[in-house]
């Protein structure tokens, strides 16, 4: 290869990287999550820290700030969205969370959130139940539910 060819190839690769590196990022260059946390449309909560969202799905926090009952729903353990949610929000894999629930059930403390088959069922459940919270892929969000901002 000539040095001119290498230079052109390197330049083309750098341009391609700069163009495609913005995929999956918001206007501020931040990576967008692969999921959205959704709540009932009447919820007055706009955002919650990631730690609080985790506590809701682990049923360690059972009430919303207004005193209403929190009702989390999960996707199946095999779901890619659930795996990404678990890693991002809980900081642990789905298998670790499944083990947590085994311990909670056997100790008589808590039962896991209801598991729904797909994102459409999660949206429907959250839409129909005040206090509900779920997560879905961004394309599944409708105007029938409210997206909750999850902050660090």
The DSSP secondary structure of 7-47, one letter per residue, reads: HHHHHHHHHHHHHHTTTTB-TTSPBPPSSEEEE-TT----E
One domain for residues 24 and 46:
no
Q: Is the pTM of this model over 0.85?
A: no
Per-residue confidence (pLDDT) for residue 151, from 0 to 100 = 95
What are the per-10-residue average pLDDT scores of the chain (152 residues)? 51 40 44 88 96 98 95 97 97 97 96 98 98 97 97 91
One domain for residues 111 and 64:
yes
One domain for residues 78 and 24:
no
One domain for residues 22 and 73:
no
d(CA 78, CA 84): 11
Burial class of residue 11 in the structure, from the number of CB atoms within 10 Å of its CB (0-12 exposed, 13-18 middle, 19+ buried) = exposed
Write the pLDDT tens digit of every residue in 35-48: 999 999 999 999 99
One domain for residues 3 and 52:
no
One domain for residues 56 and 121:
yes
Domain range for 7 is 1-32
Per-residue confidence (pLDDT) for residue 30, from 0 to 100 = 54
One domain for residues 38 and 27:
no
Number of domains in the chain: 2
Residues 59, 110 contacting (CB under 8 angstroms): yes
d(CA 21, CA 28): 13
One domain for residues 21 and 40:
no
One domain for residues 22 and 67:
no
**Local structure of residue 92 (DSSP, 8 states):** S
Per-residue confidence (pLDDT) for residue 63, from 0 to 100 = 97
Residues 34, 83 contacting (CB under 8 angstroms): no
One domain for residues 16 and 58:
no
CATH number for 119 = 3.40.190.10
């Amino acid at each position: 290869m000539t040095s001119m060819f290498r230079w052109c190839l390197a330049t083309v690769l750098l341009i391609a990287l700069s163009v495609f590196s913005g995929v999956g990022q918001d206007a501020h260059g931040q990576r967008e999550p692969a999921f959205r946390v959704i709540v009932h449309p009447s919820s007055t909560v706009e955002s919650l820290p990631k730690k609080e969202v985790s506590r809701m799905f682990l049923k360690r926090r059972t009430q919303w700030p207004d005193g209403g009952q929190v009702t989390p729903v999960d996707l199946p353990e095999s779901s890619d969205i659930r795996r990404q949610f678990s890693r991002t929000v809980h900081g642990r894999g789905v298998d670790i969370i499944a083990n947590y629930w085994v311990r909670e059930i056997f100790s008589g403390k808590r039962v896991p959130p209801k598991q729904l088959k797909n994102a459409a069922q999660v949206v429907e459940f959250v839409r129909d139940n005040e206090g509900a919270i779920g997560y879905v892929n961004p394309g599944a969000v409708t105007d029938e539910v409210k997206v909750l901002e999850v902050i660090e």
